[in-house]
Amino acid sequence: MMLLDNKNEVFFIGLIPKPENDELMYYLINSEHIYHNNEDFYFKKLEINKKFLSRFDEIQFNEDQLERFYFIDTFELFCKDKKCKYFENDKSLFIDGSHLSYFGSEIIAEHVISNYIYSKKDS
């Protein structure tokens, strides 16, 4: 895998559990959040994410490459108890139905920094 040549580290971000509706637009128009049980939606997206991740099983990583390839499971970051969050403290985590906002991106960045960057410095 070319990305792992030259001792590069690769952080692969999984599919993002984006909302089915444009929840930010709904909030801006109605001044309230959509609170719905999205358990079916969660499982549907989780299965897609698993299929997507399974494609990496076909790649033949050597041990050195495997140590430098990281998969960021966004479902662990955005979903708890089979429900995905789209707002945190009235801050939208998505700018629309498909793209993370600054605040959503910050969740992923903080996870990568604290779990991969700082943990390596401590080792």
Which residue would you say has higher pLDDT here, 88 or 106?
106
Report the pLDDT value the prediction gives residue 33, as an integer from 0 to 100: 63
Out of 3.40.1350, 3.40.50, 2.60.40, 3.30.70, which CATH number does the structure's domain 2-122 have? Answer: 3.40.50
Domain locations along the chain: 2-122
Interval 4-49: pLDDT, tens: 777 888 888 887 776 666 666 777 777 766 655 566 666 666 777 7
Has this prediction a pTM greater than 0.85?
no
Which residue would you say has higher pLDDT here, 115 or 80?
115
Nearest to 10 by CA among 116, 122, 123, 118: 116
Q: Is 35 helix (H, G, I), strand (E, B) or coil?
A: coil
Measured distance between the N- and C-terminal CA atoms of the chain, rounded to whole angstroms: 26
Q: Percent of the chain beyond pLDDT 70?
A: 74
Query: What's the rounded Cα separation, in Å, for the pair 106 and 111?
Result: 8
